[in-house]
Amino acid sequence: MTELYPSLAQCAIVATAFKILLFPAYKSTDFEVHRNWLAITHSLPVQEWYYEKTSEWTLDYPPFFAAFEWLLSQAAPYVDPAMLVVKNLNHDSWQTVYYQRATVIVTELVLLFALSRFVKSVPEQNRHLAHIASLSILLSPGLLIIDHIHFQYNGFLYGLLILSIVLARKQSTLLYSGITFAALLCFKHIYLYLSLAYFVYLLRAYCLDPKSVFRPQILNTIKLGICVVGIFALAFGPFASWGQLLQLKDRLFPFSRGLCHAYWAPNVWAMYSFADRALIPLAPRLGLPVNQDALTSVTRGLVGDTSFAILPEVTKEHTFALTFLFQLLPLIKLWRRPDWETFVGAVTLCGYASFLFGWHVHEKAVLLIIIPFSLIALKDRRYFSAFRPLAVAGHVSLFPLLFTAAEFPIKTVYTVFWLILFLFAFDQVAPVPERRRVFYADRFSLLYLTVAIPLIIYCSVGHQLIFGLGRYEFLPLMFISSYSALGVVGSWVGFLVVYFTA
């Protein structure tokens, strides 16, 4: 086989050099969140980790991530001991900044390893397709914006997710897939959104005979049960023995937050909120009642502050029911056809459902869809047609995370370059499908891409030129969110068609 070029390692080296140049770039409050967690886990006994509240950015990730922060903190005293003092709020010496940003790069090696395993797991005749998809993930503008500028550790976590998906490819490694995913849940509980797909697949393909549901694999079931329970016992057992599980629940699941995040994630509720805003001036003509208290609600961006002036209110129960319903649909097919590609499709659709219909969804969660979808986007051109608007919408929706002038050319040029490079490459190499493609899907993608450029120019530059600084600040955010939501929903509908007709 001809060596794949450029290799993942070569691209990782170049990307690392670029990321180091971004060390002085803008950093969000998430930087202080993780600095505070370093201080908490290093300076306090474990029993106090989930009670400490000197900072408003309290520890609210599961125990494995807390242990991960503790591990990172072990080298921190040699760089800047002040970063580990709990009372040093908003401490951001250049030593601290460089250290924390360096830890993001180092831990991203897990992603590099997982992607290399993915490429090797694919049959040789399709390995070049897997290599291109892997490069698109490794060089993702989403990971660059969220991890290396805004500041988080998603590369490390998505590396674990990809590794668990790769391990699910062979019957001999299915158990390790379940173990890896269980560990991932103990690092970050947002991956619960994908857990039903894992549950159905492991039950159907590992605990039952893949050819007959009436032939249970008792030994496999026992092994999987012991391993998964053991992982959760290792993570939560100490806190259970200290009577702290209710405290962990309150920290991990703060349901008091509102339907929409401060900046609307590009989902169904963004479109719902946009429709509510659009109906306000029409309400008197249509004879619709107006909730006066809600007129400024969805433009202020406060946590727990979402209500609607015209349309009916949305409750947690509504979002849960819709999320469960639209996750259940792909799981029915997965139960009937427990193969790897159907499993990855189900994981992707579970990500779609939770992102589009979930309660208080963050815009960063769009990577829960983009990354697993990338693994199968080159199966054929129908898959790619559904992936293309998602790639555009998902990455454009992240732009408001970086609102300072210095980062504007970085996020714009890098994202546009990535979209041109990889969408062109995907278009060139995606195989022709055996089934007929849906005509409107390609036209929708083309129209959607055409609108993206003037919208980005208006929201980034034009709005301020027209209205001036500080006026109608919610409008660009609303336009980007609603436009991106249209792309994500269109991609979801397109992929549903592909998934159920494949």
Radius of gyration of the chain (CA): 23
User: CB within 8 A of 229, min separation 6: which ones?
Assistant: none
C-alpha 133/C-alpha 115 separation (Å) is 9
> Helix, strand, or coil here: 358?
coil
Cβ–Cβ < 8 Å for 344, 162:
no
User: CB within 8 A of 151, min separation 6: which ones?
Assistant: 27, 28, 30, 31, 34, 100, 101, 104
pTM, full prediction = 0.94
Q: What digits encode the pLDDT tens for the residues 433-471?
A: 876 665 455 666 777 777 777 877 777 777 777 777 667
- From first to last of its 502 residues, the chain has per-residue pLDDT tens of 457 889 999 999 999 999 999 999 999 999 999 999 999 999 999 999 999 999 999 999 999 999 999 999 999 999 999 999 999 999 999 999 999 999 999 999 999 999 999 999 999 999 999 999 999 999 999 999 999 999 999 999 999 999 999 999 999 999 999 999 999 999 999 999 999 999 999 999 999 987 788 889 999 999 999 999 999 999 999 999 999 999 999 999 876 667 776 567 889 988 888 888 888 888 788 778 887 766 665 544 444 456 788 888 888 899 999 999 999 999 999 999 999 999 999 999 999 999 999 988 888 999 999 999 999 999 999 999 999 999 999 999 998 888 888 888 899 899 989 999 999 999 999 998 876 665 455 666 777 777 777 877 777 777 777 777 667 677 777 788 888 999 999 999 999 999 999 8
User: CB within 8 A of 394, min separation 6: which ones?
Assistant: 142, 266, 366, 367, 369, 370, 484, 487, 488
How many residues appear in the chain?
Answer: 502
**Domain range annotation of the chain:** 8-252, 268-501
C-alpha 56/C-alpha 188 separation (Å) is 19
CA distances from 367 to 146, 404, 450 (A): 10, 23, 23
CA distances from 411 to 402, 403, 462, 476, 489 (A): 8, 10, 17, 16, 24
Q: What digits encode the pLDDT tens for the residues 84-110?
A: 999 999 999 999 999 999 999 999 999
C-alpha 139/C-alpha 134 separation (Å) is 9
Nearest to 89 by CA among 35, 147, 157, 162: 35
First to last CA, the chain: 29
Other Cβ atoms within 10 Å of 185 Cβ, number: 21
> Helix, strand, or coil here: 212?
strand
DSSP 216: E
